């Protein structure tokens, strides 16, 4: 089964917790704090594996969670950091953040890696908080939560040449004749439901990868027929081979077919028309084909070379393949995305700093405090220790949360909520 689009959930490993501990050794009076730090959680890393051809594996496993860092230990022993979680993907995979629509990574080369979520850092042990004023603190941090994301993976087939055209114009037959690929061939529309790849070698010993793509119909750019399922896979091709049925056996006009397909390519993505296009007049062994070809040439306003062939009798195939190989050699790769679009690239630009917190009023009258910074700080606080609770209170005051609550009208005894936890506001 060919799977080319999936939705998955990924989460980096949480950091390990720091601990509160003290040296308790013979002949060492006043040993002092000795709580170690927690280890870093595992990143989740996507790596390209050329042995994969589809996203089938992600149909059965949709959740990926990195290992949690080890907790700190006494005697200032730090917890173990976890190795990255490696997830294999096929070449041609585009990783998109489902919530923001941003492109996280575009993975095309064997061994290419991308960190899609990072693990959290380990929490600090109490030895990190020792000061002359407080030489024996009972403060230790919990580990930082790992990043989490909902991702969409799209596979866009890696091929040098893409065969496009209406259903039943002979694309699969051409691929089966010029390569060792064996696509399904039958006398009905949409026989090809998934892209087929084949390595083609010309008579002068040049080679390229050709993709037979599912047939297009009018409206495909908006999802009609196989729609985007097809069009996604032509985005990476360098040369488009436009196959037309010159026999007219199905009652369609080859010139109208030619205009319709090009319009679909234009409507889907303007950059598809930047690629060089080779027109192939197939089924020239059939009656009326020569007459239809002459009419087609008269209607065609552009000065484009047309290759009349018959995939069944193999007439004209050698000349076509040599011309395709020439185009592939002289055509550069077309980047799918601008450098600024891909998150994995380092781009230095001004970004407005996110507010550390927001204050809202819930339906039940409680004050709700939200924000990435305050929520992360809350999760990393160990509320079992009095010193840690006081430290969290001081941080909230320094961030301006207390003053902001008073400005909004909070009174003594009001309920304040962070995540699923509630506190009392005390003046």
Task: Give the global pTM.
Answer: 0.74
Known binding residue 207? Answer is no
Secondary structure (H, E, C), the chain: CCCCEEEEEEECCCCCCCCCCECCCCCCCCCCECCCCCCCCCCEEEEECCCCCCCCHHHHCCEEECCCCCCCECCCECCCCCCCEEEEECCCEEEEECCCCCEEEEECCCCCEEEEECCCCCCCCHHHHCCCCCCCCCCCECCCCCCEEEEEEEECCCCCEEEECCCCCCHHHHHHHHCCCCCCCCCCCCCCCCCEEEEEECCCCCEEEEEECCCCCCCHHHCCCCHHHHHHHHCCCCEEEEEEECCCCCCCCHHHHHHHHHHHHHHHCHHHHHCCEEEEEECCCCCCHHHHHHHHHHHCCCCCCEEECECCCCECHHHHHHHHHHHHHHCCCCCCCCHHHECCCCCCCCCCCCCCCEEEECCCCCEEEECHHHHHHHHCECCCCHHHHHHHHHHHHHHCHHHHHHHHCCCCCCEEEECCEEEECCC
Give dist(CA 404, CA 418) in Å, integer. Answer: 15
Task: Determine contact, residues 12/120, Cβ cutoff 8 Å.
Answer: yes
pLDDT at 122: 94
pLDDT at 39: 95
Known binding residue 172? Answer is yes
From the candidate CATH numbers 3.40.190.10, 3.40.50.720, 3.40.50.150, 3.30.300.350, the one assigned to the domain spanning 358-424: 3.30.300.350
pLDDT at 2: 54
Known binding residue 282? Answer is yes
Known binding residue 54? Answer is no
Known binding residue 342? Answer is no
Known binding residue 380? Answer is no
Known binding residue 399? Answer is no
Known binding residue 45? Answer is no
pLDDT at 293: 85
Known binding residue 167? Answer is yes
Residue indicated by tokens 């040098």: 160
Known binding residue 230? Answer is no
pLDDT at 1: 42
All CATH 2.70.210.12 domain ranges in the chain, comma separated: 1-155
Known binding residue 312? Answer is yes
pLDDT at 224: 45
Known binding residue 171? Answer is yes
From the candidate CATH numbers 2.70.210.12, 1.10.1760.20, 2.60.40.10, 3.40.50.2300, the one assigned to the domain spanning 1-155: 2.70.210.12
All CATH 3.30.300.350 domain ranges in the chain, comma separated: 358-424
Give dist(CA 93, CA 104) in Å, integer. Answer: 11
Known binding residue 214? Answer is yes
pLDDT at 347: 46
For residue 27, give Cα distances in angstroms to 23, 30, 31, 165: 11, 10, 9, 86
From the candidate CATH numbers 3.40.50.800, 3.10.580.10, 1.10.3720.10, 3.40.50.300, the one assigned to the domain spanning 161-335: 3.40.50.300
Known binding residue 190? Answer is yes
pLDDT at 221: 41
pLDDT at 28: 77
pLDDT at 215: 60
Give dist(CA 391, CA 381) in Å, integer. Answer: 9
The 8 Å CB, 24+ separation contacts for 74-77 are 74/19, 74/21, 74/34, 74/35, 74/36, 75/21, 75/23, 75/34, 75/36, 76/34, 76/35, 76/36, 76/125, 76/127, 77/36
pLDDT at 340: 54
Known binding residue 310? Answer is yes
Low-confidence ranges of the chain (pLDDT < 50): 1, 186-192, 219-228, 346-350
pLDDT at 185: 53
Known binding residue 358? Answer is no
Known binding residue 134? Answer is no
Known binding residue 285? Answer is yes
Known binding residue 133? Answer is no
pLDDT at 270: 57
Q: Which of 411, 165, 209 is nearest to 311 (CA)?
A: 165
pLDDT at 119: 95
Known binding residue 283? Answer is yes
All CATH 3.40.50.300 domain ranges in the chain, comma separated: 161-335
């Amino acid at each position: 089964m060919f799977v080319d689009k999936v939705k998955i959930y990924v989460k980096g490993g949480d950091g390990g917790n720091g601990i509160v501990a003290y040296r308790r050794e013979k002949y060492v009076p006043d040993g002092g704090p000795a709580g170690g730090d927690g280890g870093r959680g595992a990143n989740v890393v996507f790596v390209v594996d050329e042995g994969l051809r589809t996203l089938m594996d992600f149909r059965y496993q949709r959740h990926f969670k990195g290992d949690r860092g080890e907790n700190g230990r006494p005697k200032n022993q730090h917890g173990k950091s976890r190795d990255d979680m490696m997830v294999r993907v096929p070449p041609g995979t585009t990783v998109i953040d489902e919530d923001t629509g941003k492109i996280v990574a575009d993975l095309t080369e064997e061994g290419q890696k991308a960190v899609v979520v990072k693990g959290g850092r380990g929490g600090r042990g109490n030895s990190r908080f020792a000061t002359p004023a407080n030489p024996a603190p009972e403060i230790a941090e919990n580990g930082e939560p790992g990043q989490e994301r909902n991702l969409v993976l799209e596979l866009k087939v890696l091929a040098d040449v893409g065969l496009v055209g209406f259903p039943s114009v002979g694309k699969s037959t051409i691929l089966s004749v010029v390569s060792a690929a064996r696509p399904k061939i039958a006398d009905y529309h949409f026989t090809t439901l998934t892209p087929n790849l084949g390595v083609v070698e010309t008579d002068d010993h040049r080679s390229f990868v050709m993709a037979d793509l599912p047939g297009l119909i009018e409206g495909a750019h908006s999802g009609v027929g196989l729609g985007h399922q097809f069009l996604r896979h032509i985005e990476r091709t360098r040369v488009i081979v436009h196959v037309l049925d010159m026999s007219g056996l199905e009652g369609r006009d080859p010139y109208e077919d030619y205009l319709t397909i090009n319009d679909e390519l234009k409507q889907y993505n303007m950059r598809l028309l930047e690629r060089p296009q080779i027109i192939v007049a197939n089924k020239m062994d059939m009656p009326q084909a020569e007459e239809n070809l002459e009419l087609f040439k008269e209607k065609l306003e552009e000065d484009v070379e047309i290759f009349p062939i018959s995939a069944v009798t193999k007439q004209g195939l050698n000349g076509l393949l040599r011309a395709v190989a020439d185009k592939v050699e002289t055509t550069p790769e077309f980047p799918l995305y601008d450098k600024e679009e891909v998150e994995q690239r380092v781009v230095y630009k001004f970004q407005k700093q996110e507010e550390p917190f927001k204050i809202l009023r819930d339906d039940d009258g409680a004050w709700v405090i939200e924000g990435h910074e305050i929520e992360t700080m809350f999760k990393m606080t160990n509320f079992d220790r009095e010193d840690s609770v006081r430290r969290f209170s001081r941080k909230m005051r320094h961030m301006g949360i207390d003053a902001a609550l008073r400005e909004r009208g909070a009174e003594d005894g009001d309920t304040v909520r962070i995540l699923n936890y509630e506190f009392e506001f005390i003046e």
